[in-house]
Amino acid sequence: MNFVPQLERWLPDMVALLEESVNMDSPSTDKALTDRMIGWYAARCSEALQARVERVPNRQYGDRLAVRVGNGPRQVLLVGHADTVWPAGEAKLRPFRIDGDRAFGPGVYDMKASLIQALFALKLLQMTNRLPQQLSIVLLINSDEEIGSPTSRQWIESYARKSEAAFVLEPPMEPHGAVKTARKGSGRFLLSLEGRSAHAGVNPEAGVSAVEEMARQIIRLHAWSEPSRGIYVNVGVVNGGIGANVIADRATAEIDVRVQTMDDFRHFATRMNHLTPFHPEVRMSMTGDMNRPPMERTRQIGRLFEIARAAAWDQLNMGLGETSTGGVSDGNFIAACGTPTLDGLGVRGDGAHSPSEYIWLTELPRRAALLAGILERL
DSSP summary character for residue 30:
-
Nearer to Zn ion, 70 or 107 (CB): 107
Nearer to Zn ion, 111 or 140 (CB): 111
CA-CA-CA-CA torsion sign (236, 241, 242, 245): negative
Nearer to Zn ion, 182 or 347 (CB): 347
Give the C-alpha separation, 222 to 2, whole Å: 51
Give residues in contact with Zn ion (CB under 5 A). Answer: 110-111
Give the C-alpha separation, 297 to 311, whole Å: 20
**Distance of closest approach, residue 248 Cβ to Zn ion, in angstroms:** 39
Q: How far is CA 340 from the centre of its chain?
A: 17
Nearer to Zn ion, 111 or 304 (CB): 111
Give the C-alpha separation, 8 to 5, whole Å: 5
Minimal CB distance to Zn ion: which residue?
110
Angle between helices 363-376 and 11-22 (to 10 degrees): 100
Question: Which residues make Cβ contacts (< 8 Å) with residue 280, sequence separation at least 6?
Answer: none
Nearer to Zn ion, 240 or 327 (CB): 327
**Distance of closest approach, residue 82 Cβ to Zn ion, in angstroms:** 10
Find, among 271, 84, 250, 111, the residue nearest to 187 by Cα.
271
**Distance of closest approach, residue 84 Cβ to Zn ion, in angstroms:** 8
Nearer to Zn ion, 146 or 212 (CB): 146
Nearer to Zn ion, 111 or 156 (CB): 111
**Distance of closest approach, residue 325 Cβ to Zn ion, in angstroms:** 12
**Distance of closest approach, residue 306 Cβ to Zn ion, in angstroms:** 25
Give the C-alpha separation, 234 to 149, whole Å: 22
Burial class (CB in 10 A: 0-12, 13-18, 19+), 266: middle
DSSP summary character for residue 204:
G
**Distance of closest approach, residue 81 Cβ to Zn ion, in angstroms:** 6
**Distance of closest approach, residue 170 Cβ to Zn ion, in angstroms:** 5
Q: How far is CA 97 from the centre of its chain?
A: 25
Nearer to Zn ion, 240 or 344 (CB): 344
Collapsed DSSP state (helix, strand, coil) of residue 333: helix
Give the C-alpha separation, 173 to 178, whole Å: 5
Q: Do the Cβ atoms of 375 and 75 come closer than 8 Å?
A: no
**Distance of closest approach, residue 368 Cβ to Zn ion, in angstroms:** 18
Burial class (CB in 10 A: 0-12, 13-18, 19+), 85: middle
Q: Do the Cβ atoms of 360 and 350 come closer than 8 Å?
A: no
**Distance of closest approach, residue 271 Cβ to Zn ion, in angstroms:** 29
CA-CA-CA-CA torsion sign (322, 109, 357, 100): positive
Nearer to Zn ion, 110 or 296 (CB): 110
